[in-house]
């Protein structure tokens, strides 16, 4: 089996070479790029298994690259940011990035994040490849509309109008149920963690943001501009059934 290929995109040569060398020492193949143009040229003929991406680069910034990747591919992305900007991190996650680390990053932690994100991505691909049961949409008393789908409380699945089912992991179902029980109310990350029974997590952890990003990809007509589960800056999230 060929080792996974990691693309490292960073305009700082010492940083990208250091990251690339360390990743390669730990069983991965790597390709390095100094910015958006060289990375986009590579995508015309190749596809990495994961991208480690600096957000703050001259010319095309990392957010533009994340938007392009998530709009055209299913390649996982780990963002690296040298600023403390919460806005950059939240926007990156909402665009579909899978994780982020602040620079300078601890290489062992970056390696652990790469392995974790790749496991999640592989699990999602296997889940998507599995045949989904089809059948009638459940009775109204046991379902609620979330954007383009219905949430089936009994089966813990999402169903479209034709009865096609989409599987949910437990954490996604727990979050959707929390929103269903609290429509039109702003829910903080801490409150969502409590409602979803994830009491061992940090309320400021990126886990909630990443999970909601994944949910949006399944329910929002346009995940890049969510209207069903909206972000309330500085507060949390709100579920709008009418959307």
Average pLDDT, the chain: 82
CA angle 207-189-158, nearest 5°? Answer: 65
| 93: its two tokens | 């996650």
- Name the band, by pLDDT with cuts 50, 70 and 90, for residue 67: confident
State pLDDT tens for residues 125-137: 554 455 545 554 4
Helix ranges, the chain (H): 13-25, 36-43, 62-72, 86-95, 107-129, 170-181, 189-195, 207-219
Q: Which range among 34-38, 92-96, 187-191, 238-242 shows the weakest confidence by mean pLDDT?
A: 92-96
Which pLDDT belongs to residue 142? 73
For residue 175, the SS3 value is helix
- Name the band, by pLDDT with cuts 50, 70 and 90, for residue 204: very low
Is the confidence at residue 122, as pLDDT, over 80?
A: no
Q: What CA–CA distance (Å, rounded) separates 241 from 51?
A: 35
State pLDDT tens for residues 157-186: 888 877 788 878 777 888 999 999 899 999
pLDDT exceeding 90 applies to what percent of the chain?
35
Which pLDDT belongs to residue 139? 47
Is the confidence at residue 225, as pLDDT, over 70?
A: yes
Q: What CA–CA distance (Å, rounded) separates 41 from 212?
A: 31
Which pLDDT belongs to residue 125? 55
């Amino acid at each position: 089996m060929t080792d996974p290929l990691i693309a490292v995109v960073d305009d700082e040569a010492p940083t990208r070479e250091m990251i690339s060398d360390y990743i390669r020492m730990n069983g991965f193949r790597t390709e390095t790029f100094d910015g958006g143009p060289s990375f986009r040229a590579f995508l015309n003929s190749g596809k990495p298994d994961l991208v480690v991406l600096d957000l703050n680069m001259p010319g095309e910034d990392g957010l533009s690259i994340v938007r392009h990747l998530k709009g055209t591919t299913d390649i996982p992305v780990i963002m690296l940011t040298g600023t403390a900007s919460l806005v950059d991190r939240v926007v990156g996650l909402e665009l579909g990035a899978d994780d982020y680390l602040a620079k300078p990053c601890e290489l062992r932690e970056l390696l652990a994040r790469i392995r974790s994100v790749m496991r999640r991505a592989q699990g999602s691909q296997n889940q998507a490849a599995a045949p989904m049961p089809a059948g009638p949409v459940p009775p109204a008393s046991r379902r609620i509309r979330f954007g383009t789908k219905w949430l089936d409380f009994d089966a813990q699945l999402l169903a479209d109008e034709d009865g096609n089912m989409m599987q949910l992991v437990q954490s996604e179902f727990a979050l959707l149920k929390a929103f269903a029980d609290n429509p039109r109310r702003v829910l903080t990350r801490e409150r969502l963690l409590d409602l979803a029974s994830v009491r061992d997590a940090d309320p400021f952890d990126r886990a909630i943001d990443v999970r909601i990003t994944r949910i949006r990809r399944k329910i929002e007509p346009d995940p890049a501009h969510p209207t069903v589960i909206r972000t309330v800056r500085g507060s949390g999230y709100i579920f709008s059934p009418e959307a």
